[in-house]
Chain A
Amino acid sequence: QSVLTQPPSASGTPGQRVTISCSGRRSNIGSNHVYWYQQLPGAAPKLVIYSSSQRPSGVPDRFSGSKSGTSASLAISGLRSDDEADYYCAAWDDSLRGGVFGGGTKLTVL
């Protein structure tokens, strides 16, 4: 069982807005930045959100992140078929003195 909790699946139709949640503890999300990774089938993960709400260059502004207390969320608006992927949240955990990932959310574009 992962330290960070994500729903196993999410779905939406093209053009819709979907949100993926990530729940943690004070020692991880509550105290540190949250990162979101997109993993396309058969590929390495790609950073899409850093410092809870910042987008790396090249990531479209359809992707946004937020954090409140011990929870975080990733929102994808204007859903496209090529957004279909697994999405993972991650954070440093001060108690464990290590990194933790969520179990991942498989996003399906219907």
Chain B
Amino acid sequence: EVQLVESGGGLVQPGGSLRLSCVASGFTFSSSWMGWVRQAPGKGLEWVANIKHDGSEKYYVDSVKGRFTISRDNAQNSLFLQMNSLRAEDTAVYFCASGPYYDVRFDDWGQGTLVTVSS
């Protein structure tokens, strides 16, 4: 059974930093593209970033470029999202998801972790 478990969310002040983690099991993590998708409270889904199975390609939504960094550790079956210079508009549930391609096909999702940016 595929499992994706996110952690690291919480309350942070504007301008602060947070690192999200996602531990994967039940599939070949090192062969999968991985991504982060977020959902602001009461709002729709927004794609945030994708990373290739070997980490050689990364893509970001414009609003997080230069502030967020996606990375992975295939030895630990783990995906990360380092979030710096956080803004109120980054407040959302962040989902970790896996897929076979670079695009927005995500076959499996985690349960999400809530990030709240507020003073």
* Chain A residues in the interface with B (C-beta under 8 A): 2, 32-33, 35, 37, 39, 44-47, 50-51, 56, 86, 88, 90-92, 96-104
Contacts and interface: CB of A to CB of B under 8 A. Distances in A.
A2 B60 CA distance: 16
A44 B103 contact: no
Contact of A104 (B44, B47, B106): B44
A35 B109 contact: no
Interface residues of B, number: 22
B45 A37 contact: yes
Contacts of A35: 103-106
Given A44-B111, A99-B50, A100-B47, A50 B61 contact: no
Contacts of A51: 105
Interface in B32-63: 35, 37, 44-47, 50, 59-62
A92 B109 contact: no
A47 to B, nearest CB: 6
Interface of B: 35, 37, 44-47, 50, 59-62, 95, 102-107, 109-112
| Interface of A, helix, strand, loop or mixed by DSSP | strand
Contacts, number: 66
B28 to A, nearest CB: 18
A101 B47 contact: yes
Given A44-B112, A45-B95, A45-B109, A88 B62 contact: no
B13 to A, nearest CB: 28
Contact of A103 (B44, B60, B62): B44
Given A2-B44, A45-B45, A99 B104 contact: yes
